[in-house]
Homo-oligomer: A and B are copies of this chain.
Amino acid sequence: MEYIRGIRQKEALELPEILAEKDFGKEIIVEGTVHSIRDMGDVAFLILRKRDGLLQTVYETGVCRCPLSDIKEAAALRVRGTLQEEARAPHGIELRLADVEILSLPENPLPLAISKWKMNASLEARLNLRPIALRNIKERAKFKIQEGITRGFRDFLYGQGFTEIHTPKIGAKGAEGGSNLFRLSYFHKPAVLAQSPQFYKQMMVGVFDRVFETGPVFRAEKHNTKRHLNEYTSLDLEMGYIEDFTDIMAMETGFLQYTMALLQREYREELRLLQITLPRAEEIPMVRFDTAKRLVSEKYQRRIKNPFDLEPEEEQLIGRYFQEECGADFVFVTHYPSAKRPFYAMDDPADPRYTLSFDLLFHGLEITTGGQRIHRYQELKKKMDARNMEEEGMEQYLDTFRYGMPPHGGLGIGLERLTMQLLGEENVREACLFPRDLGRLEP
């Protein structure tokens, strides 16, 4: 009988192993892709791209059996060589090659100069050739940062007693009403793609008290802006037994603090590559919606057009105001008008024209919407009636409240938007591996 007994120690070394040892003079084996070739005549520098960064190798004529002319950019290699100190090379090391084995060769030269530090190609061109463009060191580093954010979200919430859930993306009815839904036929029944796990995460508060989900959401919005995607990753949480809606903001602040520390600790190289200064999350100012509107109107001489809505430009100005007034990268804007929030948002008993809800702005862009939800059945029914909403397809959601629910609230964070702001990018598509927008369904 043959058995598999678990992971095997690979003979070929990865960069962290090499850098931990720095065993100069030792012969080691390394695998990687040829990122660039600089042929100097007698010697050539083959820069290998590995998952943790670049490694310089030195090819000397007459040493390796494999001729230099056989080695192409984008070839996958397995090489043997002696580790040496070299201050001018990445990480201060290089490998003097004794042997090169070609594992695979490309068919054609690369269509993009991915080995350049900053790629000289438009966003459109980079998105069209996404699987190739992402091989650029800086491009791929953005998605390591994105990984760090998702990881921080989960790890922090596990530590806070949250349970991770997986809720269905195909359903009979959407959470926020009829518009902006992608529709499909599900075995001859009408179905929609989930625009949010809202109903499910609320229902699961009755089971686990605190739940979270990281998953795709789908919005058939006809916006074609730098801030919108039609499919994105939502970081959602919902928590019971809150005293008021600031508990939710406190939880989000805790997540941001945890995640910035995680990035600082474990994604140092990517932060350096992308020259990112992490935002301050020690304390986040909070301001009422109406106050925020008044403050920016006064400071920036801007007339308030609609007292019940925030324009994107106003969000930017609120961000600017709190940056200027108290050096804040984030601002919580609270008490959004009831008319602009979904039916399940809890109205403020002190003034029911407003809700116990918030948005989080990061450098002037909304990255989170959250708030307290109605937890009493009769109150929910009353609000649905006032909005002339049908109960059809919502029976299970309503029943959950009929059978008892604790006070609760939650939030949803747009992962790509948070990543975009952290990276200082202008377009959310820069922060999505394979964006879906009005015009883009491929790759």
| Contacting residues, chain B, for A150 (C-beta < 8 A) | 164, 166
Which residues of chain A (170-199) have a CB below 8 Å from chain B? 170-172, 182-187, 189, 191, 193
- Give Cα distance in the complex from A316 to B72, angstroms: 49
Q: Is A105 an interface residue (CB 8 A)?
A: yes
Number of A positions contacting B (CB below 8 A): 125
Give the interface SS of chain A, mostly helix, strand, loop or mixed. mixed
Q: How far is the CB of A221 from chain B (nearest CB, A)?
A: 10
Which residues of chain A (383-397) have a CB below 8 Å from chain B? 393, 396-397
**Given the contacts A131-B399, A286-B3, A169 and B33 also touching, CB distance less than 8 Å:** no
CB of A140 within 8 A of CB of B14, answer no
Q: Is A50 an interface residue (CB 8 A)?
A: yes
CB of B184 within 8 A of CB of A378, answer no
Q: Is A308 an interface residue (CB 8 A)?
A: no
Integer count of this chain's copies in the complex: 2
Q: Is A427 an interface residue (CB 8 A)?
A: no
- Quick one: closest B residue to A208, CB to CB? B51
CB of A249 within 8 A of CB of B403, answer no
**Given the contacts A103-B406, A131-B203, A404-B75, A144 and B163 also touching, CB distance less than 8 Å:** yes
CB of B163 within 8 A of CB of A436, answer no
- Give Cα distance in the complex from A172 to B14, angstroms: 36
- Give Cα distance in the complex from A191 to B160, angstroms: 39
Q: How far is the CB of A372 from chain B (nearest CB, A)?
A: 13
A407: contacting residue among B103, B166, B254, CB under 8 A: B103
A406: contacting residue among B31, B108, B132, B172, CB under 8 A: B31
- Give Cα distance in the complex from A5 to B286, angstroms: 11
CB of B247 within 8 A of CB of A8, answer yes
List the one stretch of A37-45, A277-285, A346-354 in contact with chain B: A277-285
CB of A284 within 8 A of CB of B169, answer no
CB of A376 within 8 A of CB of B104, answer yes
Q: Is A339 an interface residue (CB 8 A)?
A: no
Q: How far is the CB of A425 from chain B (nearest CB, A)?
A: 17
A residues bordering B, Cβ < 8 Å?
1-8, 12, 14, 31, 33, 50-52, 72, 74-76, 78, 103-108, 110-111, 129-132, 134-135, 140, 143-144, 146-147, 150-151, 154, 158, 160-161, 163-172, 182-187, 189, 191, 193, 200, 203-204, 206-210, 215-216, 218, 220, 222, 230-231, 233, 240-241, 246-247, 249-251, 253-254, 257, 282-287, 325-326, 332, 375-378, 393, 396-397, 399-407, 415, 432-436, 438, 441-443
